[in-house]
């Protein structure tokens, strides 16, 4: 009997957040035939290169998200919300709820709770509540209820306070190469002068791989209420 095919929905505050922090895992699952979907609550256009038009860069970011997802055989969504102005309210929670009900993922990935970036922390809170709203049929929306049973928080250098790797997911050389190629479509990953994103994350997946006694790995946290280990004996 064949294994169940998964749908993974990775939700970031900006285009590029999930592609970097969970991209190796996403690439690995795409090679297994699983469905990959990304959602960015903003495009991240305020990281515009010097001398460029911000709205033109926004369009570029949307296209970069699309290109990454398509290389993994998936699809992308980007909300039309200005970077840095993501609102922590129920309107946003229900917008994300509706995407969850549309995509119907088995797995949700988003930001850890702490961050130097307000959009990341706001996204964490929105996704946690949107998952709850999406799973309850008593919240009547256009689409039927769907509960994403698995929720993970990705490792991000900007979300590092109190983050402790809980789950290690390893992936192959083929998945690594696909991830590097796809994430390099993002200008800021290879062109930013403020932080060497690609170099950092390439080293990080190798370090996490070594810790896991594997070649490459990415790590994730889970909701604190799920941090239980059940055994019938030691």
Where exactly are the structural domains of the chain? 7-226
What's the CA gap between 130 and 86, in Å, rounded?
A: 15
pLDDT (average), residues 221-231: 92
What's the CA gap between 215 and 1, in Å, rounded?
A: 29
Percentage of residues in the chain having pLDDT higher than 90: 96
Look at residue 4 in the predicted model and tell me its pLDDT.
82
User: pLDDT band for position 229 (50/70/90)?
Assistant: confident
User: pLDDT band for position 1 (50/70/90)?
Assistant: very low
Give the chain's end-to-end CA distance (angstroms, integer).
32
| CATH code for the domain defined by 7-226 | 3.40.50.10320
Look at residue 234 in the predicted model and tell me its pLDDT.
86
User: Which residues have CB under 8 Å from 100's CB, separation 6+?
Assistant: 9, 108, 130, 131, 134, 146, 148
User: pLDDT band for position 95 (50/70/90)?
Assistant: very high
What's the CA gap between 184 and 52, in Å, rounded?
A: 20
Q: What is the mean pLDDT of the chain?
A: 96
Percentage of residues in the chain having pLDDT higher than 70: 99
């Amino acid at each position: 009997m064949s294994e169940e095919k998964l749908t993974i929905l990775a939700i970031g505050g900006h285009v590029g957040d999930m592609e970097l922090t969970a991209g190796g895992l996403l690439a690995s699952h795409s090679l297994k035939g699983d469905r990959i979907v990304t959602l960015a609550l903003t495009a991240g256009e305020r990281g515009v290169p010097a001398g460029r038009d911000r709205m033109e860069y926004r369009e570029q970011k949307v296209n970069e998200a699309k290109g990454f997802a398509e290389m993994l055989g998936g699809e992308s969504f980007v909300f039309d919300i200005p970077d840095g102005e993501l609102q922590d309210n129920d309107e946003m929670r229900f917008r994300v709820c509706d995407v969850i009900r549309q995509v119907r993922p088995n797995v949700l990935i988003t930001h850890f709770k702490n961050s130097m970036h307000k959009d990341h922390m706001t996204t964490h809170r929105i996704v946690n509540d949107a998952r709850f709203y999406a799973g309850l049929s008593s919240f009547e929306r256009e689409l039927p209820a769907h509960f994403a049973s698995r929720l993970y928080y990705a490792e991000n250098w900007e979300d590092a306070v109190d983050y402790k790797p809980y789950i290690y997911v390893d992936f192959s050389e083929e998945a690594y190469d696909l991830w590097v190629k796809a994430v390099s479509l993002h200008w800021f990953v290879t062109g930013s002068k403020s932080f060497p994103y690609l170099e950092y994350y390439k080293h990080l997946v190798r370090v996490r791989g070594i810790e896991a006694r594997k070649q490459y790995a990415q790590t994730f946290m889970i909701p604190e209420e799920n941090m239980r280990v059940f055994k019938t004996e030691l």
